[in-house]
Amino acid sequence: MMIVMRADATQREIKTIVDRVQDCGAQAHLSEGQERTIIGVVGDVRSLPRDEFVRMPGVDRVIPISRPYKLASREFHPWNSEVSLDGIRFGGPEVVVIAGPCSVEDRGQLLETAYAVREAGAHALRGGAYKPRTSPYTFQGLGEEGLELLAEARAATGLAVVTEAMSPAQVPVVTRYADMIQIGARNMQNYALLHAVGESQFPALLKRGLSATVDELLMAAEYILSHGNQNVVLCERGIRTFETATRNTTDINAIPVLKTLTHLPVILDPSHSTGHWEYVEAIARAAVAAGADGLIIEVHPQPEIALSDGGQSLKPERFAALVRQVAAIAEAVGRSMAPAKAPLAN
């Protein structure tokens, strides 16, 4: 249920309503637009005295939300949300690019990659310290040592750091080192993790599950939002279908669908959604042409010796070409690439 306030409603009127909602055992979430405030009411809505709210001072109208997700829906929050990450804004007019290796392997590899993607125009650094691997016998990531290297790379390059937590227990340590916490595709419905990230109030990058519908992705986001953490960026990373020519099938439709259904920023990961570096550039361009707010891309200085996902990693020079191509597409759709970091002093 959504209580739309009048444009001239006072703060006191808003507060009175919020209090009344809470008295009824439900939760109130404010969405403050330039013209008016909307109060989202979540919880067991059936027992709420809807008629009473209609008559309260400052209320324009009360409308049901038809979707199973509330806080994530554009009905509740009609204007685009922006999520800030160390001066970068996801969901605004500018297109943002996160890049880096699949896994943090060692200090040399990480720093080399970080400098290279920075110079090519990336705005943030990705890199896995905790790696969800299908096999227990393959490289599982460097753990906290990897986080320390990421923090060092940030200090050296000024790039914000995005990295994954795989369990609630890893949330505090990841938030200590990183700027944005990633929830991977396999954990999209790991509810304990969603709760922990929601409570952390930390910026979150939520990747769509391999076989999750768009509605399920938004329900997963709702878990985070329902803890008051509004800093959620959604990421399409390919779905599992019968087609085996690529690792996954990029659901490009999901970009305009999500931009219609939700106010949250949406980015795309063409590295995982194709699984082959040869196709990454084409799909990165397509994503921005379809309306994506950003990209997350795997880059490795020597993909042929990468400990994970080498086949889908771009070399730095290819990545630099990709950034230029994507910038041209951004212009063609009336947006622009977020500005690159200024050159480092020698």
**Subset of 237-296 contacting a copy of itself (CB under 8 A):** 239-246, 249-257, 260, 273-274, 278-279, 282-283, 285-291
* Residue closer to a copy of itself (CB basis): 4 or 286: 286
Please state the closest distance from residue 227 (CB atom) to a copy of itself, in A. Answer: 9
Tokens, residue 117? 């993607």
DSSP string covering 146-160, please?
HHHHHHHHHHHH--E
**CB neighbours of 45 closer than 8 A, spacing ≥ 6?**
1, 26, 64
- Taking CB under 8 A as the criterion, the residue among 33, 328, 339, 344 binding a copy of itself is 328
Residue type, 69: Y
Quote the distance between the C-alpha of residue 335 and its chain's center.
19
Tokens, residue 169? 């227990």
Cα end-to-end span (Å), the chain: 56
Quote the distance between the C-alpha of residue 341 and its chain's center.
21
Tokens, residue 287? 């994503």
Q: Is 81 helix (H, G, I), strand (E, B) or coil?
A: coil
Element (H, E) at 94: strand 94-100
* Residue closer to a copy of itself (CB basis): 56 or 286: 286
Q: Is 42 in the site for a copy of itself (CB under 8 A)?
A: yes
- Taking CB under 8 A as the criterion, the residue among 332, 336, 339, 344 binding a copy of itself is 332
- Taking CB under 8 A as the criterion, the residue among 191, 317, 339, 344 binding a copy of itself is 191
* Residue closer to a copy of itself (CB basis): 113 or 313: 313
Q: Is 43 in the site for a copy of itself (CB under 8 A)?
A: yes
Are the beta carbons of 276 and 247 closer than 8 angstroms? yes
Q: Is 80 in the site for a copy of itself (CB under 8 A)?
A: no
- What backbone torsions phi and psi does residue 46 show, to the nearest 5 degrees? -60, -30
DSSP string covering 97-124, please?
EEEE-SB---HHHHHHHHHHHHHHT-SE
Q: Is 163 in the site for a copy of itself (CB under 8 A)?
A: no
Please state the closest distance from residue 278 (CB atom) to a copy of itself, in A. Answer: 7
* Residue closer to a copy of itself (CB basis): 15 or 133: 133
Considering only residues 82 through 121, tell me which ones interact with a copy of itself, judged by CB under 8 A. Answer: none
Element (H, E) at 214: helix 214-225
- Report the largest interatomic distance among the alpha carbons of the chain, rounded to a whole angstrom: 67
Considering only residues 217 through 236, tell me which ones interact with a copy of itself, judged by CB under 8 A. Answer: 219, 222-223, 226
* Region of 87-95, 107-115, 127-135, 149-157 interacting with a copy of itself (CB under 8 A): 127-135
Considering only residues 56 through 75, tell me which ones interact with a copy of itself, judged by CB under 8 A. Answer: 68-70
Q: Is 169 in the site for a copy of itself (CB under 8 A)?
A: yes
* Residue closer to a copy of itself (CB basis): 120 or 166: 166
